[in-house]
Amino acid sequence: MLGYILRRLVGAVLVMLAVATLVFFMIRLVPGDPIAAMLADAGSQEAREAMTRRLGLDQPVIVQFFYWFGNMLQGDLGASIYGSNQPVMKILMEALPKTLSLALISFLIAITIAIPAGIIAATRKNSAADVGVSLFAFLGLSMPDFWLAIILIIVFAANLQWLPAIGYAPLADGFWPWLSHLILPGIAIGTGFSAIIARMIRSSMLEVMQADYMRTAASKGLTQRVVLMRHAFPNALIPVITVIGIAFALLISGAVVVENVFSIKGLGRVLIQGIQNRDYPVVQGAVLLISAFFVLTNLVVDLLYAVIDPRIRYS
Amino acid sequence: MSDVTLDPAPPVDAPQVKRKNRFKSVFARDRKAQFGLVILAIFILGALLAPFLAPYDPNEMTLNMMSSPSGDNLLGTDDLGRDLFSRILWGTQISLFVGVATVTLALVFGVLLGVLAGYYGGWIDMVIMRYIDLQWAFPNFIIAVYLVAVFGTGLLNVIVAIALAFLDDFARIARSMVLTLKEEQYIDAARVQGFSDLRIMLRHILPNAMAPIIVQATVSVSYAILGEASLSFLGLGVRADTPTWGLILSDGRSFISRAWWLGVFPGLAIMLVVLSINFIGDALRDALDVRETDI
């Protein structure tokens, strides 16, 4: 087990180093002169040279790379080249709690819908309820999250005025202000995600319900409820764990778009604003952070799976 | 040519007959798939006939601003007095084109990489798989966003960006199919007869590996359409003067409290097309007998 963990850890670190290298050199492919683009027409020759020096762009690319890489390992991702020139790390750390809160609420909303839906669909296979869940899953997968976000704003914010239409409130302002700002974006992101999980739970439950131990449990005289919840459901969850990595990709991609609809200044909004402002250090940092989270999630999922199912470690 | 007659026929003939019947019976039974085929056909026709069907020029601004759906303007007009129906109709062209072009690119290059990796193994496999692992470290949508950020917006860049983001999915499936098929006796038979690698890959391996690739391609078209709409919505899509569904929604977003139709109809178009493709994809999965785990 220890060997497996070590192998996977080293693998993840190598992937992250490669990701950082790739992200750095990709930005260097930006067509045209970034300095000219940043200073637009206003930049004089001196301003241009000063900026080039400040950003270290007068050095050879390979020197720039090692310089940047060394700083990155110490948690320094450079400074924004737009507006107040804040450190990129500071911008990202201010954005992170918002995106994490949003991801958490989206996740909770998704499983609250998906678990009952998946179980009902599996236990009443081919019933009206099953068909209903299947249709819901198709709709959830086919609806653009930003469109659902707009519809939710029209209905629940503009017309009914139950929930705020835009913005974010930190948890420090109180639980309800925090939560109320996250419910609509959470539903927008969580719906598509719940569709995937509900389908997984359904097919996994159907498989588990064929198992011998289910018949044993039933013949012991356990009630159907106990058989389903104690024996079938926990075992059905095992394969579902594998899609958590994919789910995270969905959550973060959803956040990138939906944060922009609700004006929540999380990682997604920072990323898109960075692109609009041609603020490359910020774009670079945001992409790095998102991918680091993604790699970490996949690593945790793999390790979790190896703990639950020992066969994985040896393959 | 003698080698043509000696060509060990891969066992496609029998399954092909069975497959055709299975196709018919699956699509005859599956209401969702029929619904999908009809809706998709309507959208394809709409896209092809947009120049004739659109009642107005999609970019023509009029003083008839933000008028609600009526006989003159079926789906209403936007803040610049442009006819929403005509804009959505023209937008169909872009969405469907991006969906198909993206997946074609991703499929051709992804399958090529996957087949090469699986067939030759060794260092070729290692290099290709390391690249795929690297791509695996990013969510697909983030790859597309980053590529557009670096190379700029525009139709071609959007297509290439989304195609690259999907490349690894096709490569992975093709590789695993090749690894399984490589062990089959008819491949050995072909090799013993001295057929070239290219011929074995194209004529013996690829046809038998197509089922999961077709299913993946169908599903990917729907993801590509959603991806393009998301990029356009974020202002990272095709140019600002081209009416795409994502852009129409993004433009209309500020006015939704006064003009609900600007928020509802473009999204409805996206959802109907994506839903239809997903319905068809699901029926194809049944018809081609592809398990969810193969993808």
Low-confidence ranges of chain A (pLDDT < 70): 31-44, 309-315
| % residues pLDDT > 70 (chain B) | 92
Most confident of the ranges A25-34, A206-215, B27-36, B98-107? B98-107
Task: Find the range with the poorest average confidence among B19-28, B149-158, B267-276.
Answer: B19-28
Measured distance CA(B243)–CA(B251) in Å, rounded: 10
Query: What pLDDT, on the 0 to 100 scale, is given for residue B295?
Result: 47
Full-model pTM: 0.86
- Per-residue pLDDT for B268 more than 90? yes
Phi-psi region of A83 (alpha: psi -120 to 50; beta: other; left: phi over 0): left
Which option is the CATH number for A89-308: 3.50.50.60, 3.90.550.10, 1.10.3720.10, 3.30.420.40?
1.10.3720.10
Query: What pLDDT, on the 0 to 100 scale, is given for residue B260?
Result: 85
**Residue contact A151–B134, C-beta within 8 A:** no
Measured distance CA(A255)–CA(A146) in Å, rounded: 10
Fold assignment, B22-50+81-289: MetI-like fold (1.10.3720)
Query: What pLDDT, on the 0 to 100 scale, is given for residue B276?
Result: 94
Check the CA dihedral A282-A288-A294-A299 and report its sign: negative
Q: What is the average pLDDT across B61-86?
A: 79
* Cβ neighbours of B140 in A, within 8 Å: 249, 253
* Cβ neighbours of B274 in A, within 8 Å: 141-144
Contact (CB, 8 A) for A26 and B138: no
Task: Kindly list the distances between the CA atom of residue B131 and the CA atoms of A18, A22, A295, B115, B295, in Å, as whole numbers in the listed order.
Answer: 10, 11, 15, 15, 19
**Residue contact B140–A249, C-beta within 8 A:** yes
Contact residues, chain B to chain A, C-beta under 8 Å: 32, 133-134, 136-142, 145-146, 148-152, 222, 226, 229-230, 233-236, 246, 249, 253, 256-257, 260, 263-264, 266-267, 270-271, 274-275, 278-279, 282, 292
Measured distance CA(A23)–CA(A18) in Å, rounded: 9
* Cβ neighbours of B134 in A, within 8 Å: 15, 18-19, 22
Confidence class of residue B83 from pLDDT cuts 50, 70 and 90?
confident
Shortest alpha-carbon distance between residue A151 and chain B (Å): 7
**Residue contact A249–B270, C-beta within 8 A:** no
Tens of pLDDT along B133-170?
888 888 888 999 988 888 888 899 999 999 999 999 99
Q: Which two tokens mark A134?
A: 């299947």
Angle between helices A145-152 and A175-208 in degrees, nearest 10: 130
- Per-residue pLDDT for B3 more than 50? no
Most confident of the ranges A204-208, B174-178, B184-188, B250-254? B174-178
Q: Boundaries of CATH 1.10.3720.10 in chain A? A: 89-308
Tens of pLDDT along B222-241?
999 999 999 999 988 887 77
Q: What is the ipTM of this complex?
A: 0.84
CB burial class (10 A; 0-12, 13-18, 19+) of residue B17?
exposed
DSSP code, position A273:
H
Query: What pLDDT, on the 0 to 100 scale, is given for residue B294?
Result: 47
Choose among A220, A262, A294, A211: nearest CA to A19.
A294
Which residues face A79 on adjacent strands? A87
Confidence class of residue B7 from pLDDT cuts 50, 70 and 90?
very low
Query: What pLDDT, on the 0 to 100 scale, is given for residue A82?
Result: 75
Q: Which two tokens mark B272?
A: 């109907």
Tell me the average pLDDT of chain B: 84
Query: What pLDDT, on the 0 to 100 scale, is given for residue B19?
Result: 64
